[in-house]
């Protein structure tokens, strides 16, 4: 399928006198995996947050086209709709999983469904399914501190996917992992997203991670400097 899932136009964002985004245009097609690379401070995280409706840009627009229903501008919808979009249509994976240490692995995943009003039992069942798919069967009742870094990131991936999110944003998801674990986590992330017809936008410093994506864009001083073509 060749239809855009998210389309950013002329995005700008400043924090005080710092220009984080200096006019970014980016279109991502459904089913793509796009790596965003660039030096520290180049604006990658800001771009991800603006695309995901976490941060409002100073100017520009972000058009999200869901599988069903009309396209909507993430930057102008009201906060309630934007919040629902983030909960239901978008998934997030961060460098440190940002998991809740007091909850078990399975509860962390199920919580993403329960805040969308899914009954606990159904949520736990679906969470267990994702854990099994990501090689985490048997770890359901571990607390986050009792998991390895790679296992914790797979819990974070399951959490980002259990809602059926069609667009997943990952910000340096392998940044804290060794290279073998990083490769495994990237496999899990790709299998869960593009492997299911979903779309992945991943910020990374790691050329190995980027090379596994269908496309890489480079950000420098708040601008996209080059967009490499689709890789084999």
Ligand X SMILES: Nc1ncnc2c1ncn2[C@@H]1O[C@H](COP(=O)(O)OP(=O)(O)O)[C@@H](O)[C@H]1O
Query: Per CB under 5 A, which region of 42-50, 79-87, 139-147, 179-187 contacts Mg ion?
Result: 42-50
For ligand X (CB under 6 A), the number of binding residues is 11
- Binding characters for Mg ion, 155-174, by CB under 5 A (x = yes): --------------------
Q: Are strands 59-64 and 4-15 parallel, antiparallel or unpaired?
A: antiparallel
Helices and strands in the chain: count of H runs, count of E runs: 7, 10
- Binding characters for ligand X, 77-116, by CB under 6 A (x = yes): ----------------------------------------
Is residue 107 classed as helix, strand or coil in its secondary structure?
Answer: helix
The rounded distance, in Å, linking the Cα atoms of 194 and 197 is 5
Position 45 contacts Mg ion (CB under 5 A):
yes
**CB-hemisphere CA count at 13 Å for 190?**
17
| Residue 3 or 40 with smaller CB distance to ligand X | 40
The rounded distance, in Å, linking the Cα atoms of 221 and 41 is 8
| Residue 20 or 156 with smaller CB distance to ligand X | 20
The rounded distance, in Å, linking the Cα atoms of 136 and 158 is 10
DSSP code of residue 195: G
CB of 216 to Mg ion, least distance (A): 16
Q: The dihedral of CA 170, 131, 67, 72: what is its sign? A: negative
Supply the Cα-derived Rg of the chain in whole angstroms. 17
DSSP code of residue 145: G
CB of 43 to Mg ion, least distance (A): 8
Question: Which residues partner with 13 through β-bridges?
Answer: 21
DSSP code of residue 28: E
CB of 44 to Mg ion, least distance (A): 5
CB of 90 to ligand X, least distance (A): 18
Query: Per CB under 6 A, which region of 35-43, 84-92, 118-126, 127-135 contacts ligand X?
Result: 35-43
Query: Per CB under 6 A, which region of 34-42, 83-91, 156-164, 176-184 contacts ligand X?
Result: 34-42
Query: Per CB under 5 A, which region of 12-20, 45-53, 130-138, 151-159 contacts Mg ion?
Result: 45-53
Position 204 contacts ligand X (CB under 6 A):
no
Residues that bind ligand X (CB under 6 A): 15, 18, 20, 38, 40-46
Residues that bind Mg ion (CB under 5 A): 44-45
């Amino acid at each position: 399928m060749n239809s855009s899932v998210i389309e950013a136009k002329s995005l700008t964002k400043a924090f005080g006198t710092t220009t984080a985004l200096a006019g970014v245009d980016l279109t991502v097609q459904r089913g793509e995996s796009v790596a965003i690379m660039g030096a520290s401070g180049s604006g990658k995280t800001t771009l991800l947050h603006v695309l995901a409706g976490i941060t409002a840009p100073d100017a520009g627009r972000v058009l999200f086209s869901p599988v069903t229903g009309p396209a909507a501008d993430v930057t102008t919808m009201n906060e309630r709709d934007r919040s629902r979009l983030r909960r239901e249509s978008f998934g997030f994976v961060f460098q440190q999983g940002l998991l809740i240490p007091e909850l078990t692995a399975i509860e962390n995943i199920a919580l993403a469904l329960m805040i969308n009003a899914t009954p606990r039992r159904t949520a736990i069942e679906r969470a267990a399914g994702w854990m099994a798919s990501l090689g985490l069967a048997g770890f359901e009742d571990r607390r986050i501190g009792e998991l390895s870094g790679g296992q914790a990131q797979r819990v974070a991936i399951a959490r980002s996917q259990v809602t059926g999110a069609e667009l997943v944003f990952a910000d340096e998801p392998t940044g804290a992992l060794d290279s073998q674990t990083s490769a495994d986590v990237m496999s899990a992330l790709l299998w869960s997203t593009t492997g299911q017809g979903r779309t992945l936008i991943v910020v990374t410093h790691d050329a190995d991670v980027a090379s596994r994506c269908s496309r890489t864009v480079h950000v420098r001083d708040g601008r996209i400097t080059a967009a490499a073509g689709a890789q084999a």
